[in-house]
Structure 1
Amino acid sequence: MTILVTASTGNLGRLVIDSLIARGADPASIVAGARDTAKASAFADLGVRVTELDYDRPDTVTAAVAGVDAVLLISGSEVGRRVDQHKAVIDAAKDAGVAKLVYTSAPKATTSDLVLAPEHKATEELIAASGVPAVILRNNWYIENYAGDLAQAAATGVLVASVGDGRVAAASRADFADAAAVALLEDGHLGEVYELGGDVAWNYADLASAIAEVSGRPVEYRALSTEEHASALENAGLDAGTIGFVTALDAGIRDGALAETDGTLARLIGRPTTPLVEGLRAVA
């Protein structure tokens, strides 16, 4: 079976290829799709085939998908443009008769009010309409998303957010990469929609304690209202669009968009998910 990993030079894609090989995939059966193939030279050294794949250039997508059996569609990072980018991969997979399409979506994508959910919902709908056999991986937050908070709180002793007591069932990128590798390699997952999250849903007081443990200094969680948070971000020089996006994310977390976890990720990968402190230490 030949497996194409899109966005292979990104933080998640690299880990997926590592996991595929660690789980016994022949490097020669893996195709690493990359916008800049020079950045994928380390894969070529392992025997992985590297091919150009740019979501914004459908001709490269069509060429990359041709002849492969399974495709991992890693969601794009350009918010507002992702649906069209993903559609290029879905259309190419349908035309090529791909036997399995795995997509990295967002928690409760079809029903969530999270500001990031609509593009994932639209993508899931495109996949369903295409008829391509698929596995949907609704990934919760990556612990690595908190690198900036870790650095700032370690420097100032304060973690600031407007999430209230909202909880996050985060796991490491490596955990989610392992889940993608399992979905690609194993039979029995077609048609499944997996809600994936860490074993523990923690709140921001827990996050502050974890940062304190990693940084070696006390850290206080300062809970702000949405209005107070927006004002603080404005004073820090952020533009209105970014302020709206950040506060909307925090509102989603406050309202429980990332709080649910039922152990599906751990069961899928065959081990416990990465604890918060351990994940933050890796980031630090």
Structure 2
Amino acid sequence: MSIVVTGATGQLGRLVVADLLAAGVPASGLTAVARSKEKAADLIEQGVQVAIADYDQPDTLNGVLQAGDRVLLISGNELGRRIPQHQAVIDAAKAAGVAQLAYTGIFGGPKAEFRLAADHRGTEQLILDSGLPYTFLRNNWYTEVSTTDLAGIVERGAIVNGVAADGRLATAARADYAAAAAAVLTGDGHLNTAYELSGDAAWTYGEFAAELSRQSGKPVVHRTISRAENKAMLVSVGLPEGFADVLADVDEAISNGVLAGTPGDLSRLIGRPTTPLATSIADALAKA
């Protein structure tokens, strides 16, 4: 039996692998699935078994998964292609007879009706239809999505998006979600279970701006724009029109409270509070 992590060289995958090793999983009992040896060179140096495979080439998954494996399927990031990509892994998992297929979906699962969630809903249904023992890790928004350009936000003095002033978002740090994935892969009692994973506290972008102002010493405000203006702004910075529309739709979902829930599943799984927003802002400012 091995623990297999797909997408292991991505930002989330690397954190999961690190957490598994830190939890005592032997490198020889851990398989990292990556698209190239070059991207996984550091994992190979640590003794982690690396399998070269591609979601878009199902044949490359042959032999990667074995009976009894615990597998983490980290969702792809190419909209419109994720369903067939995920299907390839699900098919390989079923053919191998894995003991667990954990999947990183989206907060709300089948109740998440905004456009970005469609592939996740579809993937969960494919897994259910497969009959495989599953664990659904329904991740809320990553705090890092909002902290990637803090230097620019501080310089401009404003966070501009389509989220309403009272729209709340219960984010958590990427490391929190990685810790949860490692916990369900190494622990028992997680089969055929769905976890709604979010931060312990939901915040508004006005509160985010106030905290950023406090830490940076410079005034920052939040300004809400219309969906049409939001989409136009996203296109103006180089995003494809279709993806810009999807992101504008996410902002509308946040305004409607879809990502505001704080059920506590994440902190219970990782055995500690989730990373506070103020800590994530401080970490991002230190790296800016």
What is the TM-score with the length of structure 2 in the denominator?
0.94
Which residue does the alignment assign to 1:166?
167
Which residue does the alignment assign to 1:65?
65
Shift of 1:256: 1.2
Shift of 1:234: 5.1
Which residue does the alignment assign to 2:129?
129
Task: Find the residue that maps to 1:38 and give its secondary structure.
Answer: coil
Shift of 1:240: 2.9
Task: Find the residue that maps to 1:39 and give its secondary structure.
Answer: coil
Which residue does the alignment assign to 1:47?
47
> Aligned residue pairs: how many?
284
How is 1:53-202 mapped onto 2 (pairs within 5 angstroms)?
A: 53-66=53-66, 69-164=69-164, 165-202=166-203
Task: Note if contact 1:161-1:223 (Cα within 8 Å) is conserved in structure 2.
Answer: yes
Shift of 1:175: 0.4
| AA partner of residue 20 (structure 2) | L
| AA partner of residue 24 (structure 1) | G
Between the aligned partners of 1:112 and 1:13, the Cα distance in structure 2 is 24
What is the TM-score with the length of structure 1 in the denominator?
0.95
Which residue does the alignment assign to 1:248?
249
Between the aligned partners of 1:233 and 1:48, the Cα distance in structure 2 is 39
Task: Note if contact 1:109-1:118 (Cα within 8 Å) is conserved in structure 2.
Answer: no
Between the aligned partners of 1:231 and 1:10, the Cα distance in structure 2 is 29
Between the aligned partners of 1:76 and 1:230, the Cα distance in structure 2 is 23
Fraction of identical pairs, as percent: 47
Shift of 1:231: 4.2
1:209 aligns with 2:204: no
Deviations along 1:195-254, whole A, 9 cap, x unmatched?
Answer: 000001101111112322343321111122223323444555655323312211111111
> What is the RMSD computed on CA atoms of the aligned residues?
1.6
| AA partner of residue 89 (structure 1) | V
Structure 1: any 5+ residue segments left out of the alignment?
Answer: none
| AA partner of residue 51 (structure 2) | T
| AA partner of residue 11 (structure 1) | Q
Which residue does the alignment assign to 2:264?
263
Structure 1 window deviating more from structure 2 (170-179 vs 67-76): it is 67-76
Shift of 1:67: 5.1
Structure 1 window deviating more from structure 2 (212-221 vs 231-240): it is 231-240
Structure 2: any 5+ residue segments left out of the alignment?
Answer: none
Between the aligned partners of 1:87 and 1:247, the Cα distance in structure 2 is 28
